[in-house]
Amino acid sequence: MDARRGVIGWGVAAAAVYLVIAPFVGRGVPARLLYEGEVPPAPYRWVHPPPELARDNQQPTGGSGQIGLNPSGSGSASILTDDAQAGIIFPHDAVAPQPGVTSATVKIAPVDPATVAPPPRGYAFDGNAYRVEAAYSNGRPVALRRSVTPVLRYPRNATVLLRWNGGKWTMLDTKRVQAALQIFAASDQLGVFVAARSIGGGTPVLLLYAGAAGVAVLIAAIIALRLRRRAAGSAAAS
């Protein structure tokens, strides 16, 4: 039953992400629909681009939006950056109510992850970090009572979504849509989110090539030796 609920939950999240991105496609904003793989994504916008991409880089944009509140809690809401590289989904009733407060404001701001903290050991950042903040109209930070879903686009080959909440990076239970270069996860806290990739735990590619080359040389030597012996045997028989 728990596994079934998990599948259903991620299906709902994926559908919600689809609904978040879809309206922006018709407005000419560079966005990709989940599971749609026919059109290449627009060039990634870096806060701090790699040197080889700096010349043509465009700076990423932030985003903001409102969440409606009533005495029982919040409505559902999806907030997206203007360039559609990051978003966050608030399910129904995710934000706890406050007496006399009818709305909360959510802000998403791109930041260079290197200015936040070093990545966890064995990982490298893949793209921008995004700081997500939300406050009631009275200025107090919102209290979450349900998990939200941050969604990031990554530029290369991210495998995990990290969250920084002032003390350490937390690895979230991550899902990704490789065709759309998008990564998302459920999070019970707001904070700074960034996509990352693993850089450890595997055999280096050069070592794999070297090993394969060594095996090929060994096989070639064995074949040559056998041919030489066969030729010598044939000569002796003659």
* pLDDT above 50 (res 208): no
Q: CB 79: neighbour CB atoms within 10 A?
A: 22
pLDDT tens-digit readout, 87-144 = 999 999 999 999 999 999 999 999 999 999 999 999 999 999 999 999 999 999 999 9
Higher pLDDT, 52 or 220: 52
pLDDT at 179: 87
pLDDT value of position 211: 40
Cα–Cα dist 206/203, whole Å:
8
pTM for this model (two decimals): 0.71
Sheet of 103-111, strand order: 73-74, 63-70, 103-111, 123-136, 191-198, 160-164, 169-171
Q: Return the SS3 of 125.
A: strand
Report the pLDDT value the prediction gives residue 172, as an integer from 0 to 100: 97
Average pLDDT, the chain: 79
How many other C-beta atoms can be found within 10 angstroms of the C-beta atom of residue 85? Answer: 31
Q: How confident is the model at residue 167 (pLDDT cuts 50, 70, 90)?
A: confident
- 33-70 burial, b if ≥16 CB within 10 A, otherwise e? bbeeeeeebeebbbbebeeeeeeeeeebbbbebebebe
Distances (CA, A) of 60 to 30, 57, 129, 211: 11, 9, 11, 43
pLDDT per residue over 37-75, tens digit each?
A: 456 778 999 999 999 999 999 999 999 999 999 998 899
pLDDT score of 189 more than 70: yes
- Amino acid in the structure at residue 230: R
